[in-house]
């Protein structure tokens, strides 16, 4: 069975990567009456990032990580998925746990290296993920999958949530 990218879910039920995506690439318009062009641009940005995240899905369990320029190693098993839209660069910090790629933290990259504080946030989330039943399904929600941003459940501001 292929590996699957999942969002880290915090003990309070929030999903930091989902929240970042919803804030950075809202599926609901921020304006009262956006133009068709503005709606299309917002959807295109979100789908572009979703498809880059989806590259992790489908890798066989024994496959090596995606090569550079798609991913690179941050330190130890912590990796960054390198996403971009136009001139904006984003990084999703993630780790592998068996058949799962756990998406721990996402940032908009503004400097050459990922800031140490951002790396520490990802490491803390990983410790939390592993602490609870070694990363039980209750701490992860599937993500990626072509079209998940186009056909969300629970309203236009969230991804479809499935049970692992």
The residues spanned by each domain of the chain are: 4-142
Backbone angles phi, psi at 79, to 5 degrees: -125, 165
- Number of neighbouring beta carbons within 10 Å of residue 47: 19
Query: Could you tell me which of 21, 41, 30, 62 has the C-alpha nearest to residue 148?
Result: 21
Mean pLDDT of 55-65: 81
Is the distance from CB of 146 to CB of 51 less than 8 angstroms?
Answer: yes
Q: What is the pLDDT of residues 77-106, one digit of tens each?
A: 999 999 888 888 999 999 998 888 999 999
Angle at CA of residue 69, ends 68 and 72, nearest 5°: 50
Tokens 């959807």 — which residue? Answer: 43
User: At residue 61, does pLDDT exceed 80?
Assistant: no
Query: Rounded to an integer, what distance in angstroms lies between the CA atom of residue 25 and that of residue 19?
Result: 10
CB atoms closer than 10 angstroms to residue 146: 11
95-140 pLDDT, tens digit each: 998 888 999 999 999 988 999 999 999 999 999 999 875 555 445 5
pLDDT score at 121: 96
Task: Look at residue 143 in the predicted model and tell me its pLDDT.
Answer: 58
Q: Give me the percent of the chain exceeding a pLDDT of 90.
A: 32
H/E stretch holding 19 reads helix 16-24
pLDDT for the residue numbered 160: 33
What is the pTM (predicted TM-score) of this model? 0.77
Q: How far apart are CA 106 and CA 19, in angstroms?
A: 9
Does residue 65 or residue 146 have the better pLDDT? 65
Strands (E), 18-160: 71-75, 78-85, 88-97, 100-109, 140-142
């Amino acid at each position: 069975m292929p590996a699957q990218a999942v969002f880290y879910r915090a003990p309070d039920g929030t999903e930091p990567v989902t929240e970042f995506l919803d804030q950075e690439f809202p599926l609901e318009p921020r304006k009262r009456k956006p133009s068709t062009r503005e709606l299309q641009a917002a959807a295109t940005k979100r789908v572009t990032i979703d498809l880059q995240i989806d590259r992790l899905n489908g890798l066989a369990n024994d496959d090596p990580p995606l090569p550079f320029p798609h991913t690179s190693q941050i330190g130890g098993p912590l990796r960054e998925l390198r996403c971009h839209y136009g001139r904006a660069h984003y990084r999703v910090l993630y780790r592998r746990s068996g058949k799962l790629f756990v998406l721990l933290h996402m940032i908009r990259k503004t400097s050459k290296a990922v800031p140490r504080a951002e790396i520490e946030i990802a490491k803390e989330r990983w410790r939390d993920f592993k602490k609870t039943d070694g990363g039980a399904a209750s701490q992860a929600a599937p993500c990626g999958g072509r079209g998940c941003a186009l056909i969300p459940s629970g309203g236009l501001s969230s991804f479809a949530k499935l049970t692992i």
